[in-house]
Amino acid sequence: MVGTALSSNYPCIDVYQFCNWVKPRRKTRERERERERERRKRLSRRLILSVGIVFNLSLLGYFKYTDFLLENFNGIFDADIPLPHIVLPLAISFFTFQQIAYLVDSYQGQTKEYNLLTYMLFVTFFPQLIAGPIVHHKEMMPQFASRWNLVKNYRNIALGLFVFSMGLFKKVVIADTFAVWATAGFDTATTLNFFSAWATSLSYTFQLYFDFSGYTDMAIGAALLFNIKLPMNFNSPYKACDIQDFWRRWHMTLSRFLRDYLYIPLGGNRVGKYRNYLNLFAVFLLGGIWHGAGWTFVAWGALHGIALIIHRIWQEAGLRMNQYLAWFITFNFVNIAWVFFRAREWEDAFKVLRGMVGLDGVMLPVMFQFKFQFLTPYGVTFGKWLGAINGDTLLTPLLILIMVIATLGLKNSNQYLLQGAKLRTYFFGIAGTMAMLALWVMSQAGKSEFLYFNF
């Protein structure tokens, strides 16, 4: 009989009360074991993520920064460790960031299951491998898996050839033209007068933009031949009216990566004001180091970090500035900061900067000597004012023309991609661009420089 004594030697036990007492404890133990399994699973996944990130960064550090670290170690401790001069794998910085982004997204459960072949295609897709854009898995893998992309698309072929030819023209005709004067100013000239220094810095400013933008256009155009659409990476950055807007337009996929995988994990703007300033500075300091193994790259990143902090303080104070003045300040800051980005040594950077502020003299063309002779007592001389960089009569009008193209409201390649056009428009554009390119190549004998090989 339920509830009766089981034996005279034992107390009376109510079976219902006993079951009600045991079940909750059993469920509690099961919940604890489940929590322990989840905790171990999280630790295991976090360990795999950490190992993956450390492995990728270690490879990047070994190939890209070994010489830099050993050189500084030798300088600090007066050592004599030989530099190995390791050959840098092409595009290691780009595919390293791409793989780290995939690891983090996988850890956060934002990726689907993909086989190894699809993943390898994502990492090694050749159009964007060398110079970007830095693509996201959710932008690419669904396109690789789509059957519609296995069908010929003549509009994509025409648009791809059109954008590719635009990029090739930017690189071979515009960037390589300005490269001659930039190289002469930074690497060859011993001193630079005021106008030669400004011509040098502006030449590199436009060389870098049209080189990198040109390669991006070629990547986007080549990918379109396979019905693959790469993300926008440049949107007329020299039209920006503040430094934040500049980074929303320049190398947009790198800015996105730094925001999503560095700035936000550090706390972003959810932390206190001064911590937010520190986060901004740290992100761009690391961005400078990513671009190259040298203290001049560190200085370039630090300058942009400080500029963004000043811009944030300006916004928080509710201050406003005339749009044209804002553009003028932004463009000139970017132009001056590029001096550190381009200089191989500190001496090269200071040589250009000294000239830009007139410390090494001001020289005007001989044709102005009669009218401006009264300036001679103030240190103004007359002669070959751009002779230090072998500047001829083409340099000044070309700088003015490219300044107008890069900074005014002219269409860029992204707008052609978004707006679309008739097929014959693309083919006429391709034919015209390739004809100009062929004429230019036949008239030139110099070699082409790939700026982003070291990145």
CA nearest to 138, candidates 172, 183, 104: 104
Q: Spell out the residues 6+ positions from residue 31 whose beta carbon is closer than 8 angstroms to its own.
A: none
Q: Say if CB 212 and CB 413 are below 8 A apart.
A: no
Establish how many alpha carbons lie within 13 A of residue 337's alpha carbon, considering only the half-sphere containing its beta carbon: 21
Helices within 152-193 (DSSP H only): 154-169, 176-183
Q: What are the two backbone dihedrals, phi and then psi, of residue 94, each rounded to the nearest 5 degrees? A: -70, -50
- DSSP bridge pairs for 365: 383
Q: What are the two backbone dihedrals, phi and then psi, of residue 391, each rounded to the nearest 5 degrees? A: -75, 130
Question: What Rg do the C-alpha atoms of the chain give, in angstroms?
Answer: 30
43 token code pair: 């630790």
Rounded alpha-carbon distances, angstroms, from residue 267 to 137, 202, 259, 284, 345: 24, 37, 11, 15, 35
Catalytic pick from 136, 137, 291, 304?
291
Coil, strand or helix at 30: helix
Length of the chain: 455
Which amino acid appears at position 5 of this protein?
A: A
Residue 291 annotated in active site: yes
CA nearest to 238, candidates 210, 215, 279: 210
**Residues with catalytic roles:** 291
